[in-house]
Amino acid sequence: MRVCGVELKGNEALICLLSKSGELFDIPDCRQVRFSIKDSDDQQQMRFFQQSFRKLMEDYKVEQVVIRQRLHKGKFAGGAVGFKLEGALQALSNMPVTIFAPSKIKEQLKHTPLPIDFSQTGLKAFQEVAFVTAFAFLNKPEIVALANKTKPELNTAKASDAVETAKTKQAVETPIEQPAAAQEPENASAEKFNPWKR
């Protein structure tokens, strides 16, 4: 599953793409990691912000947008512009958008802490909050359960189709039995497991 973590800060949306397949995480390269707007009262600028964001999500095949929730009131409450940007993202068509509370993110990180230091991810410093938001979301029990429920059936079907295709192709193209190629030892090219892939 590929998600986009978002931190709304001032007049900017700071983002980070993150994918998870099984136990393997991937941080895809992205052509744009921040969106800003000069005048939130300008309808054209707001539309351009929304359309540019949606186009990026489509191009990178993002399945879920996860926005870190900001306080509505109090000393650390978010600004008005940020809430307008949040509304524009929530109104994206055909794109699931979730608001993820900081308290929930913190709680999730207690159960599944980051396996590496953020400095080792290769991301820019201002992307840290967006990255942590995406990481915590992908480790939510309901998201993990959904991935585990759907993945085996899809993989089994693809593997079965691949085997049948290979058998058919071999029967048509090589009717005479060929000597089997020597197989490498099972652990000849084994690599040390690393849950992060760049």
What CA dihedral angle connects 73, 76, 82 and 84, to 10 degrees? 0
The 10s digit of each residue's pLDDT in 15-50 is 999 999 988 999 999 999 999 999 999 999 999 999
Q: What is the mean pLDDT of residues 173-197?
A: 50
Q: What pLDDT is stored for residue 14 in this prediction?
A: 98
Q: Is 40 helix (H, G, I), strand (E, B) or coil?
A: coil
The 10s digit of each residue's pLDDT in 76-94 is 666 789 999 999 999 999 9
Q: What is the mean pLDDT of residues 162-174?
A: 48
Domain assignment of residue 15, given as a range: 2-139
Same domain? For 162 and 126 the reply is no
Q: What pLDDT is stored for residue 77 in this prediction?
A: 66
Q: How many domains does the chain have?
A: 2
Residue 181 has pLDDT above 60, yes or no: no
The answer to whether residue 75 is domain-embedded is yes
Going by C-beta distance under 8 Å and a sequence separation of 6 or more, which residues neighbour residue 79? 10
